[in-house]
Amino acid sequence: MSASPRFRVCRRGDSPLSEAGPAQRERSSRQPRGGRGNVALGCLVIGASLGLSGVPTAYADDDGASEVRGSAADCTSATKLALPGNTTVSAATLVTSGTLVTTGNPDGVNLTLTGLPAFCRVQGVAKPSSDSSIYFEVWLPQETWNGKFLSSGEGGYAGAPNYSRLGLDGGLDELVRRGYATASTDTGHVATDPWWAVGHPQKARDYLYRSKHLVTVIAKQLILAYYGRPQTHSYFNSCSNGGRQGLLEVQRYPEDYDGVVVGAPWNFQSHSNAGFVWDAQALSAPGAAIPVAKLPAITASVLAACDANDGLVDGVIGDPPACHWNPATLLCNGADTNSCLTQPQLTALEKIYAGPSDPVTGAKIFPGFDIGGEAGWAGIVSDLTGVGLENGYFANLVFENRNWNYSTFNFDTDMAYADAKVGSLGNSIETDLSEAERRGVKIIQYHGWNDQVLQSAYSPEYYRQVVKTMGGLKKTQSFYRLFMVPGMTHCYFGPGATSFGGVGQQIPPVRDATHDIQTALERWVEEGIAPDSMIATKYTDNAATTTTIKLTRPLCVYPKVPRYNGAGDPNDAASFSCVQPPTRGNGDDDDQDSGDD
């Protein structure tokens, strides 16, 4: 059982951190990472050690900060804490019924969450600027705390905390059930307002980078105040925009987390969105629209060419970059039917695979979508007017123009403007991760090859850039590892084995370092054992409650790929090996270019 929780802030006459002598400060500096250095100081000065100006010291009134243990009073005293970022704790409630109805949510959607342990629910708003309003929640297990902090992330353009994935992995409800102190935020705006950034540059900053870091700092201080000691380790696990947040934390605030799980990151956000515009322009050319009814024919042709390349015909391509398939084989030779493509449709398809390029320099802007995931492209081929994620980015954040027209986007001048105005704030593409490496931060990244929302090829492309900057594959893999997932669509599901502890996925059959990516990360951080491979599970259907396993597959550390051994149960991961593709060099080579395609 964990230490009995209570909020303990400094009283007048105590010796807080800001008044510690040199010996105390030296002892603190030698403590391990994760914020464990302030326990001996006896009380908490909220904001004193953040390096943030204008943060007042918080002393409880003489009849204030209660040390009564295990009562609702301990939780409600969170409202008395002074926190950074001009933060107000609006409510702090001890939830003991096992059920929580999240009424009054910023997005107006109420959820009923069940099976919860007793926990202190802290709700607040941070206002680091005069136009900021960053709503957040921090959930602190009352008696079941495992001593760790695991932050959720927020997908897409956020607009509400990640309360639940409705029985799937990664929401606040599942994390608190597992014993973690956890937190999530709306990132500074509500989902019901699609134009939250128009005329609000500070709200844009809150979403792009400021909110996640600030809420992380606030959550850690609440943890220290509530339990009387800091977390032993701090972790982050999320996908999509949450993956962008994770990489941004590593690059800009490497002190925030000891380890991060980064799923399908939207980290080159400006260029990824340009890719969506590129696709919409290609598909809206005269006669170029590809009906959804033609996607099965494209999928069948691709699989016929490349499914067997990994040693097994199972409807999944194990290594799409090694697939050499010519889309022109689908060109109609006569009547236009759902089994072939007209020339304008073929041209559009080739552009989707190629991705955008600069019309002036010819330089590639971003990868296209990968071969093998076409069965999930209904959303791509249906977006003929640029109303998807690209509209939220360019119309709302970049040009701040409700009437922005995708068809006018210039991939030279407009791209440069977007990069300068918004990309410079929100892209997380820095390749020099030396400070994170020095601090001992560990990173596990994954991305599904069948991703139908974000272009999966950028994950290995970015990783190779990091490898080059950091001095080789071996050096990079000592703190940062990538796993590409055959047959997984965006973050979860798809024809492959896609459950391994990522956000939004079905719960893995076992919470161990082989089947659960969060457990693998923690073993790496806490025991120094890096994951060379993992096992992903595919259930008989996608329902949250399903526990019957259909098959398992290995997840291989990049650049290795899975291959069927030629014998053994094809539904068992043990019948596969992780092998080095001959076109990518030796996976054990320490050359700076090892791992390149």
Q: Of 39-53, 320-334, 419-433, 561-575, where does mean pLDDT reach its minimum?
A: 39-53
Contact 448, 375 (CB under 8 A): no
Tell which of 426, 447, 471 closes a domain: 426
Confidence at residue 582, expressed as pLDDT on a 0 to 100 scale: 77
Looking at the structure, do residues 180 and 39 belong to the same domain, yes or no? yes
| CA–CA dist 140, 294 (Å, integer) | 50
Cα 150 to chain centroid distance, Å, stands at: 13
| CA–CA dist 576, 561 (Å, integer) | 10
| CA–CA dist 544, 507 (Å, integer) | 8
Q: Of 205-214, 271-280, 427-436, 582-591, where does mean pLDDT reach its minimum?
A: 582-591
Question: Which structure tokens are listed for 451?
Answer: 């991703």
Q: DSSP labels for 101-112?
A: E-TT-TTS---E
- H-type alpha helices, 509-591: 517-527
Cα–Cα distance list, 76 to 122, 172, 226 (Å): 8, 20, 10
N- to C-terminal Cα separation, the chain: 50
DSSP 8-state assignment for residue 342: -
Confidence at residue 5, expressed as pLDDT on a 0 to 100 scale: 54
SS3 assignment, position 388: coil
**What are 14-67's pLDDT values in tens digits?**
333 232 333 333 333 333 344 433 332 233 443 333 332 223 223 233 333 323
Contact 263, 446 (CB under 8 A): yes
Q: DSSP labels for 286-317?
A: TT----GGGHHHHHHHHHHHHGGGGS--SS--
Looking at the structure, do residues 302 and 415 belong to the same domain, yes or no? yes
Is the predicted pLDDT of residue 72 greater than 80, yes or no? Answer: no
The count of structural domains within the chain is 3
When pLDDT is averaged across residues 524-553 and rounded to a whole number, the result is 98
Looking at the structure, do residues 40 and 155 belong to the same domain, yes or no? yes
Contact 257, 236 (CB under 8 A): yes
Q: DSSP labels for 137-160?
A: EEEEESS---SEEEE----TT--S
Looking at the domain assignment, is residue 552 inside a domain?
Answer: yes
Residues facing residue 535 across a β-bridge: 554
H helix or E strand, kind and range, residue 174: helix 172-177
Q: Give the active site residues.
A: 240, 451, 490
Looking at the structure, do residues 369 and 451 belong to the same domain, yes or no? no
Confidence at residue 110, expressed as pLDDT on a 0 to 100 scale: 86
CB under 8 Å to 385, separation ≥6 — which residues?
A: 280, 284, 406
Nearest to 584 by CA among 557, 555, 553: 557
Looking at the structure, do residues 445 and 421 belong to the same domain, yes or no? no
Position 404, amino acid = W
pLDDT band at 73 (very low <50, low <70, confident <90, very high): low
Looking at the structure, do residues 441 and 413 belong to the same domain, yes or no? no
Place of tokens 């009995």: 4
Confidence at residue 25, expressed as pLDDT on a 0 to 100 scale: 31
Question: Which structure tokens are listed for 352?
Answer: 């989707």
Q: Count other C-beta atoms under 10 Å from residue 593's C-beta.
A: 12
Looking at the domain assignment, is residue 450 inside a domain?
Answer: yes
**What are 84-140's pLDDT values in tens digits?**
999 999 999 999 999 999 976 656 778 999 999 999 999 999 999 999 999 999 999
pLDDT band at 388 (very low <50, low <70, confident <90, very high): very high
Confidence at residue 285, expressed as pLDDT on a 0 to 100 scale: 98
Confidence at residue 221, expressed as pLDDT on a 0 to 100 scale: 97
Range of the domain at 379: 270-426
When pLDDT is averaged across residues 67-82 and rounded to a whole number, the result is 71
Confidence at residue 43, expressed as pLDDT on a 0 to 100 scale: 39
Tell which of 426, 450, 474 closes a domain: 426
Sort 543 into a burial class: Cβ within 10 Å, 0-12 / 13-18 / 19+.
exposed
Looking at the structure, do residues 155 and 46 belong to the same domain, yes or no? yes
Nearest to 5 by CA among 275, 224, 246: 224
Looking at the domain assignment, is residue 3 inside a domain?
Answer: no
CA atoms within 13 A on the CB side of 315: 8
Nearest to 479 by CA among 513, 516, 440, 527: 440
CB under 8 Å to 381, separation ≥6 — which residues?
A: 283, 289, 290, 291, 292, 295
Looking at the structure, do residues 543 and 476 belong to the same domain, yes or no? yes
Q: Of 55-59, 120-124, 316-320, 526-530, where does mean pLDDT reach its minimum?
A: 55-59
Tell which of 426, 448, 476 closes a domain: 426
Contact 425, 244 (CB under 8 A): no
Q: Of 51-55, 223-227, 472-476, 586-590, where does mean pLDDT reach its minimum?
A: 51-55
Confidence at residue 75, expressed as pLDDT on a 0 to 100 scale: 93
Place of tokens 């939780």: 75
Looking at the structure, do residues 177 and 222 belong to the same domain, yes or no? yes
Is the predicted pLDDT of residue 201 greater than 80, yes or no? Answer: yes
pLDDT band at 595 (very low <50, low <70, confident <90, very high): very low
Question: Which structure tokens are listed for 97?
Answer: 């019924």
| CA–CA dist 216, 182 (Å, integer) | 9
Return the percentage of the chain with pLDDT > 70, whole number.
84
Cα 123 to chain centroid distance, Å, stands at: 22
CB under 8 Å to 527, separation ≥6 — which residues?
A: none
Confidence at residue 593, expressed as pLDDT on a 0 to 100 scale: 43
When pLDDT is averaged across residues 198-225 and rounded to a whole number, the result is 98
Q: Average model confidence (pLDDT) for the chain?
A: 88
Nearest to 275 by CA among 139, 12, 454: 454
Looking at the structure, do residues 441 and 377 belong to the same domain, yes or no? no
Confidence at residue 9, expressed as pLDDT on a 0 to 100 scale: 44
**What are 400-444's pLDDT values in tens digits?**
999 999 999 999 999 999 999 999 999 999 999 999 999 999 999
Looking at the domain assignment, is residue 442 inside a domain?
Answer: yes
Looking at the domain assignment, is residue 386 inside a domain?
Answer: yes
Confidence at residue 66, expressed as pLDDT on a 0 to 100 scale: 29
Looking at the domain assignment, is residue 475 inside a domain?
Answer: yes
Contact 238, 263 (CB under 8 A): yes
Looking at the structure, do residues 314 and 386 belong to the same domain, yes or no? yes
Looking at the domain assignment, is residue 256 inside a domain?
Answer: no
Looking at the structure, do residues 385 and 506 belong to the same domain, yes or no? no
More confident residue, 535 or 59: 535
Looking at the domain assignment, is residue 472 inside a domain?
Answer: yes
SS3 assignment, position 29: helix
Contact 594, 587 (CB under 8 A): yes
Question: Which structure tokens are listed for 454?
Answer: 């974000």
Is the predicted pLDDT of residue 485 greater than 60, yes or no? Answer: yes
